[in-house]
Amino acid sequence: MAFLLTMLGAALACGLEMLEALAIVLAVAATRRPRDAVLGALAALVACVAIGAVVGPALIGRVAGEPLRLVIGVALLLFGLEWLRKAILRLAGRRARSSSFAEFVAEREALEAEAPPPPGQPDWPARVVAFKGVLLEGIEVVLIVAALGARPGGAAPAFAGAAVALAATVGVGLVLHRPLQRLPETELKYLVGLVLTTFGTFFAAEGLGVSWPLGDAALLVLLAFYVLASQLMAAALARGRGAAAEVPA
């Protein structure tokens, strides 16, 4: 149960982050030179691997037992609740739906406004945009995989999920941007928020000395609890929006 949920959470979270990074790199490659986009992205990947090599062992080696579970739980709650907050607002129509394709278009328009350097000279703005985009999304991938993988038995499903996400993102990249328009990103991000918040609550509680009555099966109860609560919140917000729209000006 925990294995499957960890793998699902890691795969979805990493996949969506990688997709956002891919949208930025594709936008840079389409409007400037593909070589500069790839160089910026590769430099960011090296930086992410270096950060992962430091964060992972530090998290597992320096903190252990209940404090480790509490640290992991709080980290997952910070990520998961932020995804969940945005997803509830999107489902209620209070925020634009998530779209990597829209990010791709916006990034491309911003880059087109600036003239590229003459041939033969490095395109530093393009490299920096690709580097920053991949680095920021990559750090989030590293932190989520480190947090999910730091608990006992969590490394295998977390890395497996990240590998699945990487393969899927490369596949999307190979057929360019068309799949970006088809993905139900808002719903997928909602699911990631639910899974990360569920794990965050589970681990943080264990870090505070709680012994879950149902063991790992408590994860499903927590998941159902957050699904119900978030759906109620989204419905209440959507109703409030509809009522406000009906009020005559």
Partner 1 sequence: MRALRKLVLGETWALPVGVVLAVGAAALLRAASGDAAWWRDAGGAILALLVLGALAYSVYSSARR
Q: Residue numbers of the site for partner 1 (CB under 8 A)? A: 70, 73-74, 77-78, 81-82, 84-86, 88-89, 92, 94, 132, 136, 139-140, 143, 197, 200-202, 204-205, 208-213, 218, 222, 225-226, 229-230, 233, 237, 240
- Minimum CB distance to partner 1, residue 182 (Å): 27
Nearer to partner 1, 79 or 101 (CB): 79
Nearer to partner 1, 126 or 234 (CB): 234
Nearer to partner 1, 82 or 109 (CB): 82
State the residue for tokens 């750090």.
139
- Minimum CB distance to partner 1, residue 118 (Å): 30
Nearer to partner 1, 156 or 210 (CB): 210
Nearer to partner 1, 167 or 229 (CB): 229
- Minimum CB distance to partner 1, residue 137 (Å): 9
Q: Is 164 exposed, middle or buried (0-12, 13-18, 19+ CB in 10 A)?
A: middle
Length of the chain: 249
- Minimum CB distance to partner 1, residue 245 (Å): 14
- Minimum CB distance to partner 1, residue 198 (Å): 9
SS3 labels along the chain: CHHHHHHHHHHHHHHHHHHHHHHHHHHHHHHCCHHHHHHHHHHHHHHHHHHHHHHHHHHHHHCCHHHHHHHHHHHHHHHHHHHHHHHHHHHCCCCCCCCHHHHHHHHHHHHHCCCCCCCCCCCHHHHHHHHHHHHHHHHHHHHHHHHHHCCCCCHHHHHHHHHHHHHHHHHHHHCCCHHHHHCCHHHHHHHHHHHHHHHHHHHHHHHCCCCCCCHHHHHHHHHHHHHHHHHHHHHHHHHHHHHHHHCCC
- Minimum CB distance to partner 1, residue 171 (Å): 26
Nearer to partner 1, 4 or 229 (CB): 229
C-alpha gyration radius of the chain? 20
- Minimum CB distance to partner 1, residue 179 (Å): 25
Nearer to partner 1, 160 or 233 (CB): 233
